[in-house]
Amino acid sequence: MVTIVASHNVTPNEPTPNDPLWLSDSDQIGNLRHVSCFYVYKAKHDKNALERLMKSLSKILVHYYPVAGRLRLTESGRMELNCNAKGVTLVEAETTNTFADYGDFSPSLFTEELVPKVDYTQPIEDIPLMLIQLTTFDGGEGLAIGTLTSHPLADATSMMPFVNNWGKLTRGEELEPNEIPFLDRTLLKLPPQHSSPSVKLPEWKPVQQAQEQEQRKRSAALFKLSAKQVERLKEKANDKASSEGVRPFSRFEAIAAHIWRCASKARTSAESSNHPTLVRFSVDIRKRLNPPLPQNYFGNALAKTVTPKCNEGEIISNPLSYATQKIREAVYMVTDEYIRSQLSVILGQEQLDSIRAFFMGQGHLLNVPYAGNHNILLTSWLGMPIYEADFGWGKPMHYGLASAFQEDRAAILPSSDGDGVAVTMFFQTVLMQLFKTLFYEEL
């Protein structure tokens, strides 16, 4: 059980610019709510932790002042960021639980207690863009820092440096010039373009089908792959690549294909293999645009992509390289032309209506996934400096998503030991054990 001790509002410790910040189309598509993640530290009792965190947070917000602002709606129906320095919410909490009570820290109702709560029924202008919770475990066993971050504010590529730099200031160090965020999002104010026949936006339509209540239930599980297991997967995926003159598949492509194939096999144990299946994921466009965006660009710089059409029978009956190639085709689709085409047409009436609904206090009704399709939504944070979030207690022993999703979804992250990969899988509860068996059996 987690008990809230106190809640604090932290603002920048110096005056900051208050001009409204233009948000790109990439900021306004998709999830309009907050993303919940948490770090766990093995740390002795630190009675000054809260005070040091608040002091350094007020300092980092001077550089990242949009984080202390609020969203608001313009007359055109778009969102913009009001840089009013209203602040970030920092919650102080304690729990009677120990690390053992959380097992491997897979997303669950228990891990959700380690992040703050946000009330979407209040006016959006009053909702903090970031909420943070410091939780002390029973007996001084350790600490957890849970974060809730508004997705329109920034993507994970932007927020990882924010947390890492916050940790650096907490340790008493100063930021280097290259660690200061680039805040001008008008670089993504691209001129209107018309989609050519070769540049089509991804199709992502759930297959509506009746499902029993048990089939709709989803749960989460954590799967760890050692570096040797990752290499074995890459070898399987690349079995024919060299002989056919194909560039070797990456670990992301191989792991994503493996997840897709195991999910397809698990589903077809209960149903037919004729169901269409797709994998959708977002690609960082910072280096894919011409000219490229600054690497320290702060905001959302993502383009959605999706694998070519196929059915689960094809994924299962063919070798791993078949699914891997489809993942690659989705990655290769994201060119400069594709990005410009997608961003110039994607913010249509449907999305503007969703934004308006959000501002009318109906945010809690938005982005509710339908669990009745055979698709997979994939997130990859491979290569991100997740474990550099050191607040003076050393590197975190765990980092992960806090909340469960009611759709088939996977998140691929580096493992805490730096040796391999950790996959968080959200899947049908009745099929999760079979998925686990297939996942490791294939290795």
Residue 306 bridge partners (DSSP): 280
Q: Identify the three-state secondary structure at position 145.
A: strand
List, in order of start, the domains of the chain with CATH numbers.
2-188 (3.30.559.10), 215-441 (3.30.559.10)
The percent of residues above 90 in pLDDT, for the chain, comes to: 72
Predicted TM-score of the model (pTM): 0.92
pLDDT at 365 over 60: no
> In the structure, what pLDDT confidence band is assigned to residue 355 with cuts at 50, 70 and 90?
confident
CB 282 within 8 A of CB 256: no
92 versus 197: the higher-pLDDT residue is: 92
What's the order of all strands across the beta sheet hosting 70-73? 21-22, 79-82, 70-73
Angle at 411 (CA atoms; ends 277, 93), nearest 5 degrees: 140
pLDDT at 40 over 70: yes
Task: Tell me how far CA of residue 192 lies from CA of 96, 112, 201, 251, 352, in angstroms.
Answer: 55, 41, 15, 36, 18
pLDDT (tens digit, 9 = 90+) per residue, 119-148?
988 899 999 999 999 999 988 899 999 999
**Does 151 participate in catalysis according to the annotation?**
yes
pLDDT at 296 over 60: yes
pLDDT of residue 368: 45
pLDDT at 63 over 70: yes
34, 151, 258, 398: which one is catalytic? 151
**Does 184 participate in catalysis according to the annotation?**
no
- The neighbour count for residue 300, using CB atoms within 10 Å, is 27
What's the whole-number mean pLDDT along residues 66-75? Answer: 95
Q: Which residue bears the tokens 């059996």?
A: 441
pLDDT at 345 over 90: no
What's the whole-number mean pLDDT along residues 365-373? Answer: 53
Residue in 329, 338, 327, 328 with CA at minimum distance from that of residue 303: 338
The percent of residues above 70 in pLDDT, for the chain, comes to: 88
pLDDT (tens digit, 9 = 90+) per residue, 167-196?
999 999 999 999 999 999 999 987 765 544
